[in-house]
Structure 1
Amino acid sequence: MTLDQITILSILAVTVVLFIWGSWRHDMVALASLLACVLIGLIPPEHAFDGFGHPAVVTVACVLILSRGLQSTGAMDVFAQRMIPKTGSATLAIGALTGVGALMSGFMNNVGAMALLMPVASGVAEKHHLPPGKVLMPLSFGTILGGMTTLIGTPPNLIVSGFRASAGAGSYGMFDFTPVGLGVAVVGILFVCLIGWRLVPERTQAGAATFDTGTYLTEAQVPEKSAVAEKTIWEIARMLEDEDAQVVGVVRDDGRVSPARPRHRVRVGDILVIEAEPESLTAAISQLGLKLEGEPSEDEKDKKDESEGKSASAGVPRREKRDRRKAAEAEAGTEEEKKGSRDGKKADDGKEEKEGGERDKERGGDLQLRELVVMPDSSLVGRTIQFLRLPAHYEINLLALSRQGRRSVRRLRSTPLMAGDALLMMGTDDNLNTFAYEKGCVPLAQRDITIPNKEKAAVALLAMALAVAGAAFGLLPAAISFATCVLAYMALKVVSLRNVYESIDGSVIVLLGALIAVAEVMESTGAADLIARWMLSSIAQGDPVIALVILLVVTMTLSDFMNNAATAAVMCSIAISASAQLGVNPDSFLMAVAIGASCAFLTPVGHQNNTLILGPGGFHFGDYWRMGLPLEIMVVVVSVPMLLWIWPL
């Protein structure tokens, strides 16, 4: 073993450990790994960032933009709604929903497909009196399975195709993954729909109208006339005996959270940190006579109504200001009518404007509560509410936070948000929609963020179909075909120019660009050959079929605990080296990597869709393996014979 081999294997081992540890973001870990290779001398500085120009990276960026267009135009909404049966059993509804998710994931980003169908899953769960997790987990697994059926369905497929091209065998076609991927997906979806969903643990009562987001941590201030002023925490606990709530912390003048000790006496002005179920939160606040921290007082509401358009409403959207101005002008017109003004037409016009302003206010002016889930690619991840300045920028407030499976008693304003967090927000309908759309959140109620545009939806579908056809029939390389489609989206304003770059998940691009270069070092130093030789001699005993199974299982296991794209980048070099040493077809080994990297069903961290349902489904870390483990075993049993048949050794 040479010094370069020892070095790159050490860097790779540390990288894998950091991925699994999860304390650092995956793009930070990948970039650190790349820079370590450069500083040590394994990669020349002038070639450090060659991976960012790799066709797989370009294609992933393009697919993310195209998925945004399919979402924002509502092109997939009507399709999804029509495919879900209105009548029938829960098994039929879950099967149809999972199948639609899988089909959509074959041609768009599977996280986007999951986000589109989550509100539909909510309706299915409510209609059939099921806990939402019973529908959400099958949907998540279905969208993951569907992604493995086409070249653009998931980043690992693009990475595998890129490594095949680097080995001199050319890239895979658009539907080269379909025979094996479709077979595995069909069997997997049948298992999920007929048996698997029954294995999902119940985390909420049947018939619940909302997702079980677990308990919320919320902050409430003790006003002067509160029922808990000068009472001890123990006395407050007795008041909450009939409610599913408890006081877990107290905040005083220094702004720090102190543990809620039984003998601690509450004073006026204190802020209580309360843990409660969503259904019990309102009752607990009302019974104790508290004021939610983010909720404006009645005086503030009145002052806000009187100050129309002044500095207090600096963050109000222009449309709301215009509606208020119309209402004021209409009211003036009505006064003229009452006084018998000579200009009767002006008075009538004023009356009509007043009625229109009142209708607009009814649509979006009333304060309401809404639960939003932070998506994995949301710009909120890692940021605090204090930093976001929600009241000033969006005129909304965060009232409570739910982080299922983790309990951290901290100030809400200083708590960094994480993917899967459920946020209880208060504001007008329009402002909440704007915030959710711009910041990458999914509402847990009927989704009304996107207004379908039939013309643009048709353009989006046509352009996407042409791009897929161009790549499928070999008219253009995949990266060029989809980049052309992106240009068409921009020119035809299917996606606004501002949203084009917001659609690209920078962390994924950095991850891919960095790890492709690191994986190439494994090949150039012979480290991949070394690992493959050890695996073949010590475990597989030179049998290519056993080697194929081992490669598939190892890839699948790594993908459960680290990013699937990172797993594919690491394992591709080993797959190519192993096939070369055995003298067999490398396609069967590369396809095994593609299948294994896509099948992350044991944990919430293996795939973004699993993370997305963690809070809404009320899941714990250990809930996924109950359906995920038999599904992964089934994937191995089905995929190995199909790999040997479609891509013979």
Structure 2
Amino acid sequence: MTTDIWIVTCILLATIIAFVLDCFRMDLVAFVSMLTLLLTGILSPAEATAGFSNSLVLMIAGLFVVGGAILESGVADVAGRWLGRLGGTSTTRLTVAVMLASALLSAFLSSTGTVAVMLPVVLSLCRGAEVSPSKLLIPLAFAASLGGMLTLIGTPPNMVVNQELRGAGLETFQFFSFAPAGLLMLALGIVFMCTLGTRLLPAQATTPAVAGRNQGLVSRPELIHSYGVDGQICEIRIPRGSNFAERTLRELGLRSTFHVNVLAVSTPDKFRSRVRSATVRKCSPETLLHVGDTLFIKSANEEAIAKLIREGQVEMVTTSASLPKVVHLAELIIPPRSKFVARTVRDLDFFRVYGAVVLALRKGNQPVSTRTSDTPLHPGDTLLVAANASALKRLGKSRNDVLLVSEQAEEGDAPLKPVAYWVIGILVGMLIAMSTGLSENVTAVLVAATLMVIAGAFRGTNAYQSINWQSIVLIASVMPLATALDKTGAFDLVVDAIVESPGLTSPWILLLLLFVVTSVLSQAISNTATSVLIAPLALELAAQLDVSPYPLLMGVALAASTAFSTPVASPINALVAGAGSYRFGDFLRVGIPLQLLILIATIAIVPLLFPFSP
């Protein structure tokens, strides 16, 4: 082995170890890997940065914009609700309906976006049917992964293997080339989850309070009780002579001085003194308090409230306050790539930025109602917040950082926005262009993304915000690593070792080996990064053994979508882990049998659809 091969091998191993340990962001790890290849002279500047101008990366960025438009316009929400209603109250019917809906959306949206849309719907269905979310949320996540097997744009690994064929000058996969194998895998997944899978899933006695937005409203007492906030909300009134009169909330520093949160301020009108006829004012740091105002406050510390009453010279009205109607309670869930992760509510300055007060949070089944401002947040945590309608609307648009899964709102489903019909037309046009070969895939995607913006599907810079830049940087930064493995001859060493091993030269054994390696790596690192590294190897092995590359690359693509066995295998697993109160072992118990089932099906069906003979 040459020095360059040793250097590249060390960089590869260090990158994989860093991915597995998850101590740093994956895009940062990949970018450092790319810089190391550049600084060591393994790659030239043009080779190291080629990934950022690669048509695959541009197409994935365009698809994020298209998917964002589908989400922003409400098309995905309506589709998810419509399909979700087919489930009825039977657990089996619900499982089938949820998995079909998730797979269909995931065939055209990102899997994370699909789960973000479907999660509130599924939780609402669970409440209506009195079924534990633990029975449906893993099927939801797994179906989103399986749906990526249905189309060329269903998941980045599909596009990665297609790009390898294009780079080799071979005929590429068509838009629906993945569908025959993908449909079989989806059918197997549904059958498995409706039979053995449902027995392996945990059965919780009670359902979390999280419910679907605009589906089944949750009562305030139920929300307050489920988060352990009972008895922590009370009313105080400012009498004449109070130290709080004619001062702003900022001046008083109630949160820092007395450790209480003000949820609302009610001012009685000039002619009636009863609070129910009072005006509830928007609560902000600049809210000025007057004599006669009633404050709705939350605190878990009785001594703090006593100190507040004593030093502020205010009156206690009731210790079991009923919040005004304009104050909405809502539940939020933290997605995996949120900027909230590893930060506290205090760090985020949540009230100032979003205009909402965090009352409590839930980690799995454990509510945290004290010192919530200082508790670090993690993916899957749920927050109970109090806010007005406009603040909830802002939170609802922050899908990348926080997912609004339940709120108090008017009953009835929100109608489609007028721009939704343009979005549907543009999407259909893009799919026709890609499936019929009227234009190159990247051209069709970029044109569709541009038309979505021109049609008004986004406001301001929301189109840029819809792009998951972490994924873009990750993919573009991992590509040079594959280039370095090829340039230094490291790929050739691996290929030669396999070719010289009699037991590995059978194309069936080779397909099995590539599937196992890809599937195992996808449990620990990004499936896109895995496919970027394995796809060139599969192509080179096919050339050396004189077999068709299509079954091997199809096997790699299918294996990359089998990230089932751990809650950290993919962002969607992490997203449902908290909402479903799953343990690490739940994913192992259900995921490993399904992976083995997909493996057997791949070995059996892929060579029939794509023969080994060139």
Q: CA deviation at 1:86?
A: 5.7
**Alignment partners' CA distance in 2, 1:370 and 1:540:** 59
Q: What are the Cα deviations for residues 271-316 of structure 1, in whole angstroms up to 9, with x where unaligned? A: xxxxx996261237589xxx9988534896669x99968984589x
**Alignment partners' CA distance in 2, 1:137 and 1:206:** 17
Q: Tell me which residue corresponds to 1:30.
A: 30
Q: Does the 8 Å contact 1:405/1:619 carry over to 2? A: no
Q: CA deviation at 1:535?
A: 4.1
Which stretch shifts more, 108-117 or 418-427?
A: 418-427
Q: Does the 8 Å contact 1:119/1:447 carry over to 2? A: no
The alignment partner of 2:333 has SS state of strand
Q: CA deviation at 1:532?
A: 3.1
Q: Does the 8 Å contact 2:519/2:560 carry over to 1? A: yes
Q: Does the 8 Å contact 2:210/2:331 carry over to 1? A: no
1:186-585 maps to which residues of 2 (within 5 A)? 186-202=187-203, 204-206=204-206, 209-210=209-210, 279=226, 281-283=228-230, 285=232, 296-297=261-262, 312-313=285-286, 366-404=326-364, 412-413=372-373, 415-438=375-398, 440=400, 441-445=402-406, 451-538=414-501, 540-585=503-548
Q: CA deviation at 1:416?
A: 4.8
The alignment partner of 2:331 has SS state of strand
Identity %: 29
Q: Tell me which residue corresponds to 1:81.
A: 81
The alignment partner of 1:561 has SS state of coil
Q: CA deviation at 1:433?
A: 3.1
Q: Tell me which residue corresponds to 2:118.
A: 117
| Inter-CA distance 178–391: structure 2 relative to 1 (3 Å threshold) | same
> Is it true that 1:106 corresponds to 2:66 in the alignment?
no
**Alignment partners' CA distance in 2, 1:471 and 1:379:** 35
**Alignment partners' CA distance in 1, 2:263 and 2:144:** 46
Q: Which amino acid aligns with 2:198?
A: W
**Alignment partners' CA distance in 2, 1:56 and 1:281:** 48
Q: Which amino acid aligns with 1:638?
A: A
Q: Which amino acid aligns with 1:158?
A: M
**Alignment partners' CA distance in 2, 1:611 and 1:186:** 24
Q: Does the 8 Å contact 2:330/2:408 carry over to 1? A: no
Q: Tell me which residue corresponds to 2:183.
A: 182
Q: Which amino acid aligns with 2:611?
A: P
**Alignment partners' CA distance in 1, 2:9 and 2:225:** 48
| Inter-CA distance 426–183: structure 2 relative to 1 (3 Å threshold) | same
**Alignment partners' CA distance in 2, 1:364 and 1:56:** 52
The alignment partner of 1:43 has SS state of coil
Q: CA deviation at 1:201?
A: 1.4
**Alignment partners' CA distance in 2, 1:479 and 1:604:** 32
**Alignment partners' CA distance in 2, 1:627 and 1:96:** 19
Q: Which amino acid aligns with 2:440?
A: P
**Alignment partners' CA distance in 1, 2:225 and 2:587:** 24
| Inter-CA distance 408–456: structure 2 relative to 1 (3 Å threshold) | closer
Q: CA deviation at 1:442?
A: 2.0
**Alignment partners' CA distance in 2, 1:400 and 1:470:** 49
Q: Which amino acid aligns with 1:463?
A: I
**Alignment partners' CA distance in 1, 2:35 and 2:493:** 23
Q: What are the Cα deviations for residues 375-400 of structure 1, in whole angstroms up to 9, with x where unaligned? A: 23434335443333222222212233
| Inter-CA distance 313–524: structure 2 relative to 1 (3 Å threshold) | same
Q: Does the 8 Å contact 2:363/2:382 carry over to 1? A: yes
Q: Which amino acid aligns with 1:199?
A: L
| Inter-CA distance 199–32: structure 2 relative to 1 (3 Å threshold) | same
**Alignment partners' CA distance in 1, 2:611 and 2:516:** 19
Q: What are the Cα deviations for residues 57-79 of structure 1, in whole angstroms up to 9, with x where unaligned? A: 11111111111111111113333
Q: What are the Cα deviations for residues 395-451 of structure 1, in whole angstroms up to 9, with x where unaligned? A: 212233334499999964455533322222222233133124225322332697995
Q: Which amino acid aligns with 1:645?
A: L
Q: Tell me which residue corresponds to 1:130.
A: 131
* Matched length: 537
**Alignment partners' CA distance in 2, 1:21 and 1:496:** 38
Q: Tell me which residue corresponds to 1:219.
A: none
Q: CA deviation at 1:143?
A: 1.0
Q: Tell me which residue corresponds to 1:17.
A: 17
Q: CA deviation at 1:160?
A: 1.4
Of 587, 598, 605, the match for 2:561: 598
The alignment partner of 1:424 has SS state of strand
| Inter-CA distance 310–211: structure 2 relative to 1 (3 Å threshold) | closer
**Alignment partners' CA distance in 2, 1:409 and 1:282:** 6
Q: CA deviation at 1:135?
A: 0.8
CA RMSD of superposed structures (Å):
3.4
Q: Which amino acid aligns with 1:610?
A: N
Unpaired segments ≥5 residues, structure 2: 213-222, 235-254, 269-277, 289-321
Q: Does the 8 Å contact 1:307/1:313 carry over to 2? A: no
The alignment partner of 2:86 has SS state of coil
| Inter-CA distance 368–635: structure 2 relative to 1 (3 Å threshold) | same
Q: Does the 8 Å contact 1:422/1:616 carry over to 2? A: yes
Q: Tell me which residue corresponds to 2:551.
A: 588
> Is it true that 1:96 corresponds to 2:97 in the alignment?
yes
**Alignment partners' CA distance in 1, 2:48 and 2:439:** 28
Report the TM-score, using the length of structure 1 for normalisation: 0.76
Unpaired segments ≥5 residues, structure 1: 213-275, 316-361
The alignment partner of 1:614 has SS state of helix
The alignment partner of 1:438 has SS state of coil
Q: Does the 8 Å contact 2:152/2:159 carry over to 1? A: yes
Q: Tell me which residue corresponds to 2:148.
A: 147
Report the TM-score, using the length of structure 2 for normalisation: 0.80
Q: Does the 8 Å contact 1:380/1:417 carry over to 2? A: yes
**Alignment partners' CA distance in 2, 1:536 and 1:406:** 54
Q: CA deviation at 1:46?
A: 3.2
**Alignment partners' CA distance in 2, 1:548 and 1:515:** 23
| Inter-CA distance 168–397: structure 2 relative to 1 (3 Å threshold) | same
Q: What are the Cα deviations for residues 66-100 of structure 1, in whole angstroms up to 9, with x where unaligned? A: 11111111113333323232635210121011111
Q: Which amino acid aligns with 1:372?
A: L
Q: What are the Cα deviations for residues 187-221 of structure 1, in whole angstroms up to 9, with x where unaligned? A: 2222223331331113x324555479xxxxxxxxx
**Alignment partners' CA distance in 2, 1:639 and 1:97:** 24
Q: CA deviation at 1:170?
A: 4.4
> Is it true that 1:622 corresponds to 2:585 in the alignment?
yes
Q: CA deviation at 1:594?
A: 0.5
Q: Tell me which residue corresponds to 1:46.
A: 46
**Alignment partners' CA distance in 1, 2:230 and 2:604:** 58
| Inter-CA distance 308–406: structure 2 relative to 1 (3 Å threshold) | closer
Q: Which amino acid aligns with 2:148?
A: G
